[in-house]
Amino acid sequence: MLLEQFGGANGELAAAMQYSIQGLNCDDPERKDLLMDIGTEELSHLEIVGTLARMHLKPMKADRDSAEVDPLIAIAGGGGVGLFNSMGDAWTADYLKITGELDVDLRSNIAAEARAKIVYERLINFCDDPGSKDALQFLMTREITHMKAFTAALESMGKSPFSIGEIPPTPVLVDQYFNDSSGVGDEGETDFRGPWNEGGNWEIVEAPEQGVENLGSSNGKDAPSKKRKTSSKDNYKSRERAS
């Protein structure tokens, strides 16, 4: 299981590569330093995870029963760590989220640290070795530290939370919430309201079926919506006709 944080999608190698490459591409010297600092720290975390995994995998080198638990590690890997996750899938650069837009990359990093924190938490819950637990607790805590640093760096840029890139979103359309999963009867889904779809500038559009060209008109009056809630049977029939 420790290999998930060695060669997995949310592991230390992925984090180290993601932050370091973002740092190399960053034109902002202050935040470049942040990215390089944390990217370098993640390499040290990779060493900790690799050392822990190696300690726990060591019996596979000599004990048949232990080796039969995971032949991939015992036979192909000689009881050592490799660049793959807990399921045996090889590490890939596809794990990395690098856009070249600093604020977008910082948001990705915050999410990456949150996912890694959860993985460490689950590893701790399955661990019965006190020393390993202490190491995992340290690594889990540093994920929150990095989240705090990335969040502060993002907020210090002074950008609106929804100001992404250079091209602004389409007025009216950007504030329309499409209630697409509605249904009626036993097969329908219950509609809920909350700050994600009501209040402020939100406009709820019930099961929109019009073409893209009619959505989000400048005056908000030319974007008709279907007030009838569609059922699962209606949607199935629509898909049948389309095919």
Mean pLDDT of 108-130: 95
pLDDT tens digit string along 166-219? 999 999 999 999 988 876 667 667 788 999 999 999 999 987 765 555 555 544
In three-state secondary structure terms, 179 is strand
Say if CB 5 and CB 12 are below 8 A apart: yes
Average pLDDT of the chain is 83
CA distances from 93 to 208, 225, 238 (A): 38, 43, 39
Average pLDDT over residues 97-119: 97
DSSP-assigned letters across all residues of 8-63: STTSHHHHHHHHHHHHHH---HHHHHHHHHHHHHHHHHHHHHHHHHHHHHGGGGT-
Instruction: Please identify every residue annotated as catalytic.
Output: 12, 42, 45, 113, 143, 146
pLDDT at 32: 98
Q: Work out the pLDDT band at 12, boundaries 50, 70, 90.
A: very high
> What domains are there in the chain, each with its CATH number?
4-155 (1.20.1260.10), 173-230 (no CATH)
pLDDT value at residue 220? 44
